[in-house]
Amino acid sequence: MANRKNNSSANGKKKEVSALEKARRANAATSSSKKKEKRGAKAYWQGVKREMSKVVWPTRKELGTYTVVVVVTCAVLALGFWLIDTGVLAVLKHMLGIALS
């Protein structure tokens, strides 16, 4: 009975290895068939143009709105960092007794 368990586990490993080998062979076959074709600069730029035509560009109104949101967000973050920096500096000056001129 112990031999059966050993044989079945050995067979199981053998099946796993063969399945792994099959997967490797399938992967090698598909990767060789998917080799990229060499294309020239003209074909590249045609592809770029084709992809850029798929882009949904914002309207002038949306662009203005997004610009305002970005500028306001940057200003708020800059103000926040300045306040934190000023507060930390004040605490350090007080703790260390440093007077900056």
pLDDT tens, per residue, the chain with 101 residues:
555 555 555 555 555 567 777 777 776 665 555 556 677 999 999 999 999 999 999 999 999 999 999 999 999 999 999 999 999 999 999 999 888 76
Q: pLDDT value at position 53?
A: 94
Say what the pLDDT of residue 86 is.
95
pTM attached to this predicted model: 0.48
Sign, CA torsion 83/87/90/96: negative
Distance of CA 79 to the CA centre of its chain: 30
Q: Is the dihedral of CA 88, 89, 94, 97 positive or negative?
A: positive
Q: Which residues contact 93 (CB under 8 A, 6 or more apart)?
A: 99, 100
- In which residue are the tokens 């063969």 written? 18
Per the CB < 8 A criterion, the answer to whether 74 and 68 are in contact is: no
Task: Report residue 21 as tokens.
Answer: 């080998």
